[in-house]
Amino acid sequence: MRVGVLTGGGDCPGLNAVIRAVVRKGVEVHGWEFVGFRNGWQGPLTGDSRPLGLADVEDILTRGGTILRSSRTNPYQVDGGVDQIRKVLADQGVDALVAIGGEDTLGVAKRLTDDGIGVVGVPKTIDNDLGATDYTFGFDTAVSIATEAIDRLHTTAESHHRALVIEVMGRHAGWIALHSGLAGGASVILVPERQFSVDQVVQWVERRFEKEYAPIIVVAEGALPEGGEEKLLTGEKDAFGHVRLGGIGNWLADEISERTGKESRAVVLGHVQRGGTPTAYDRVLATRFGLHAVDAVADGDFGVMVALKGTDIVRVKLSEATAELKTVPLERYQEAEVFFG
Ligand code: F6P
């Protein structure tokens, strides 16, 4: 058996841990061979691949990024894309694919399975917004990085009597904002799931200043003021139709300064949240996902994704996995409100 592995979409800490687990178990338990396809779906589209043996996965458990590189290529946007993939897999003698990715990569995996190509999916995204799995690896690392940043911002904000707005990732789901905001003791948390009133934010900020503390406002990049529009960095869309968000943090800091007369600054965390070594939790989750993905391939159980349910790794249909985004429920957000202001 020869199995292809690829990583697609935005990178995230833990991708290498999955690749390592897949190759270690596949080679040592089943005696399979592996091919690493480079740059997400671009690899199987163009035939760009590299050998992936035991030596290639040594020392990568703790490394951030992905040794296979990534891209947001969508083969369904390429004329004859699926036939091209079929030909590359046949030419390279690849019997099955393990695709590690988020909503978009797994959406393609599902369509390819429907088109007769055997794919097993592994969920990844720092956003933790994939339905059908309790957690995705990468999320814990992103939250830890954001929390450390918030801890540091508290002390400097207090020294200077400033409000500090910290913009974190999260296009449609505010999980990183909610968890890092709670862990870091933020004075306000703003998520894409719930439009916010700038007047209300200003009230919370002023109340915080009255208590002789400096307000820390955590805002997800996709959060929206009531009646406002998403703040875009550019109007361009990627192959899956996503725009590049960014700017809400600076915009909100300016509004706060103007309305309170107090100095307010913004910090945009950006890709710092996606880089570097994964936390122990993410290494373990990524490793377990990789091991169970190999089991699914061994069973010929294609069109599924491995998922975390409680403490168990289970298999779910890719159609179920990509059906809907897991957003922050209102009651989870409301839990945090007691700390606002
Ligand atoms: O989906 C993961 C994610 O990190 C989002 O939180 C963010 O909006 C997006 O990727 C950024 O993508 P890129 O690095 O391609 O600009």
Q: What is the pTM of this model?
A: 0.95
The average pLDDT across 225-246 equals 77
The whole-number pLDDT of residue 242 equals 81
How far away, in angstroms, is 241 Cα from ligand 1 center? 13
**Pairing between β-strand 312-317 and β-strand 304-309 as defined by DSSP bridges:** antiparallel
For the domain made up of 2-137+278-321, give the CATH fold: Rossmann fold (3.40.50)
Eight-class DSSP state of 218? E
**CATH 3.40.50.460 holds for 140-275:** yes
Which atom of ligand 1 is found nearest the CA of 221?
8
138 lines ligand 1 (CB under 6 A): no
Q: 122, 100 in Cβ contact below 8 A?
A: yes
Q: 305, 121 in Cβ contact below 8 A?
A: yes
169 lines ligand 1 (CB under 6 A): yes
Most ligand 1 atoms within 8 A of CB, residue of 7, 244, 245, 328 to mutate: 244
Residue 48: closest CA among 15, 73, 14: 73
Most ligand 1 atoms within 8 A of CB, residue of 171, 221, 234, 327 to mutate: 171
**Does this chain's domain 2-137+278-321 share its CATH topology with 140-275?**
yes
Phi and psi at residue 71, in whole multiples of 5°?
-160, 170
Which atom of ligand 1 is found nearest the CA of 238?
15
128 lines ligand 1 (CB under 6 A): no
The whole-number pLDDT of residue 324 equals 87
127 lines ligand 1 (CB under 6 A): yes
Q: 64, 277 in Cβ contact below 8 A?
A: yes
Q: What is the mean pLDDT of the chain?
A: 96
Res. 228: pLDDT tops 90: no
How far away, in angstroms, is 169 Cα from ligand 1 center? 7
Q: Of residues 338 and 212, which shows the higher confidence score?
A: 338
245 lines ligand 1 (CB under 6 A): yes
10 lines ligand 1 (CB under 6 A): yes
How far away, in angstroms, is 49 Cα from ligand 1 center? 25
Q: 100, 24 in Cβ contact below 8 A?
A: no
| Residues that constitute the known binding site for Mg(2+) | 103
Output the CA torsion sign for 153, 164, 270, 13: positive
The whole-number pLDDT of residue 241 equals 78
| Residues that constitute the known binding site for diphosphate | 10
Res. 236: pLDDT tops 90: no
**Residues identified as active-site:** 127
Domain ranges of the chain: 2-137+278-321, 140-275
120-146 tens-digit pLDDT = 999 999 999 998 999 999 999 999 999
Q: Give 323's pLDDT tier (boundaries 50, 70, 90).
A: confident
| Residues that constitute the known binding site | 10, 103, 125-127, 162, 169-171, 221, 265, 271-274
8 lines ligand 1 (CB under 6 A): no
Residue 52 has a CB neighbour count (10 Å cut-off) of 23
Q: Give 227's pLDDT tier (boundaries 50, 70, 90).
A: confident
The whole-number pLDDT of residue 238 equals 80
